[in-house]
Structure 1
Amino acid sequence: MAVSFALLLFFVLNGADGSLIVGGRDAAPHSRPYMASLQVRGQQNCGGALVREDFVLTAAHCAIPMSYSVVLGADSLSGNEPTKQEFRSVKSIPHPSYDGHSNDIMLLKLDRRAQLTKEVQLISLKTDRVRTASQCITAGWGDVGDNNTLPNRLQEVNVTILPQLTCGRRWRLVPITRSMVCGVGARVFQGFCSGDSGGPLVCDGAAAGVVSFSGRRCGDPRFPDVYTRVSSFSEWITSVLNNN
């Protein structure tokens, strides 16, 4: 049965918003020191990556009409870890061409600079394109069972990068542009999910993508996970950071 583009996009974005890792594994404690948890009233909403002491990179669809609590240095969000640093977001800067689908990238300015420690570190940004078949990793505190089950600890999952043409054929009704990168897990129903939105796709130790959208069922290889390609927005990111 045919599905309209608008209806499919509704399913896609609502399926990814607040995504969580399914079919992944516990990350080694504090092995992803750039990870940020974006919270609303103490609840995980989106992920992000610390790219400057006072800036977190995330997805534009994570924008909300209020300030985020941003937690850095965490392994377990519920645990009382002395490594945690908590901030407020004071300015949300989505890409000016974000249209609810493409250009899904945003920078959050924090109310002060993070103190860099072993557990809180910056991540560099990948400035070149990710090669097809590259082995990357994405991480987050999102849904682990596609059923609103949140993890006790940070989860991570391996991601294999797909050719853009293959990704476009599988999505069909959703335009996959050159500013996007697609990936799949090694197994069926393995990938990001609700609550993972905005988290980084890490390739060769650098942030290559930002979690954007997936299918109605998390990790479904028929609809590969889609990330915003960071290298396509290098100039914009540099401009925002230099002007703030």
Structure 2
Amino acid sequence: MATSILLLLLFIFNGADGSHIVGGRDAVTHSRPYMTSLQVRGRHNCGGALVRQDFVLTAAHCEISRPYTVVLGADSLTANEATKQEFTVVKSIPHPDYDGHGNDIMLLKLNGTAQLTDAVQLISLKRGRLSTSSQCITAGWGDVGDNGTLPKRLQEVNVTTLSQRGCIRRWRNVPITREMVCGIGAGALQGFCSGDSGGPLVCGGAAAGVVSFSGRRCGDPRTPDVYTRISSFRDWIASVLTNN
């Protein structure tokens, strides 16, 4: 239990510092047009995915007390790109059963409607359960070396999903539920760091997971990256979108 609490604190604390992809590569410019940057005073805090023109899907542990600025259509967060669109979050809707560990998913309502362009697009949600060893991708902005080195452009990394049994065995005392999906990179240190919170795990062109938590060392396959499994929450997502 002590180990679980420590790891939980680690990923929540790091989540305030920005996203981190280690062992990844530059994404082709605007090839991930669903990606969103959730910012506070111009600083990237969490990632997310545009699921409706006025709604972003992210992680519940990204919730903060002040409104986010949501940046769409970005490749570089520092460059002055004509493709960028900015909005303010007017309503945060975390899952009602989020307990600091499980059900780590949240929807954010924007103060306007995004204009769909080549650089800004919606992403569909994955239906059904992922098979073991599915080939997926996750992306984000931030620390590329687990040492404070920030990228100039959006980073992405390949992810292979694991069986739940295999993930449970590696994480040992940390609860891994059926509402979670685990993944590892191809190399020894490839994946996200805890601050990559809220970004999507994309499998077959659809969002299958939301970045939730990882271990003490970024991209370490001994503690696989853990995502919230989106298919487990499709009804809740549909309900929120319908009622808003």
Following superposition, the deviation at residue 9 of structure 1 comes to: 2.4
Going from structure 1 to structure 2, the CA distance change for 1:67 and 1:11 (only over 3 Å counts) comes to: same
Does structure 2 conserve the Cα–Cα contact (< 8 Å) formed by 1:27 and 1:154?
yes
Following superposition, the deviation at residue 182 of structure 1 comes to: 0.1
Partner of residue 151, structure 2: 151
SS of 1:167 mapped into structure 2: helix
Partner of residue 216, structure 2: 216
Within 5 Å, which residues of 2 pair with 1:135-150? 135-150=135-150
In 1, Cα distance between equivalents of 2:223 and 2:190 = 12
- How far does the alpha carbon of each residue in 1:149-201 deviate from its partner, in whole angstroms, 9 at most, with x for none? 22110000000000110101111111100000000000011001243110000
Could you state the TM-score of these two structures normalised by the residue count of structure 2? 0.96
Following superposition, the deviation at residue 13 of structure 1 comes to: 3.5
Partner of residue 173, structure 1: 173
Q: RMSD between aligned alpha carbons?
A: 1.3
Following superposition, the deviation at residue 148 of structure 1 comes to: 2.2
In 2, Cα distance between equivalents of 1:13 and 1:210 = 14
Does structure 1 conserve the Cα–Cα contact (< 8 Å) formed by 2:163 and 2:182?
yes
Going from structure 1 to structure 2, the CA distance change for 1:4 and 1:187 (only over 3 Å counts) comes to: closer
Within 5 Å, which residues of 2 pair with 1:44-193? 44-193=44-193
Following superposition, the deviation at residue 41 of structure 1 comes to: 0.7
Aligned-partner residue type, residue 48 of structure 1: G
SS of 2:12 mapped into structure 1: helix
In 1, Cα distance between equivalents of 2:11 and 2:139 = 20
Q: Does 1:6 align with 2:14?
A: no
Does structure 2 conserve the Cα–Cα contact (< 8 Å) formed by 1:15 and 1:217?
no
Following superposition, the deviation at residue 16 of structure 1 comes to: 5.1
Partner of residue 20, structure 1: 20
- How far does the alpha carbon of each residue in 1:90-132 deviate from its partner, in whole angstroms, 9 at most, with x for none? 1000000000000000000000000000110000000211110
Aligned-partner residue type, residue 206 of structure 2: A
Aligned-partner residue type, residue 31 of structure 1: S
> Where in structure 1 are there 5+ consecutive unaligned residues?
none
Partner of residue 195, structure 1: 195
- How far does the alpha carbon of each residue in 1:59-85 deviate from its partner, in whole angstroms, 9 at most, with x for none? 000000010010000000000000000
Going from structure 1 to structure 2, the CA distance change for 1:195 and 1:202 (only over 3 Å counts) comes to: same
Going from structure 1 to structure 2, the CA distance change for 1:143 and 1:194 (only over 3 Å counts) comes to: farther
Bigger Cα displacement from structure 2, 69-78 vs 139-148: 139-148
Does structure 2 conserve the Cα–Cα contact (< 8 Å) formed by 1:133 and 1:162?
yes
Aligned-partner residue type, residue 136 of structure 1: C
Aligned-partner residue type, residue 98 of structure 1: Y
SS of 2:61 mapped into structure 1: helix
Give structure 1 regions of 4+ aligned residues with deviation exceeding 6 angstroms: none
In 2, Cα distance between equivalents of 1:96 and 1:208 = 20
- How far does the alpha carbon of each residue in 1:208-233 deviate from its partner, in whole angstroms, 9 at most, with x for none? 00000000111011100000000000
Following superposition, the deviation at residue 139 of structure 1 comes to: 0.3
Percent identical pairs in the alignment equals 74
SS of 1:80 mapped into structure 2: coil
Does structure 1 conserve the Cα–Cα contact (< 8 Å) formed by 2:194 and 2:213?
no
- Paired residues, number: 243
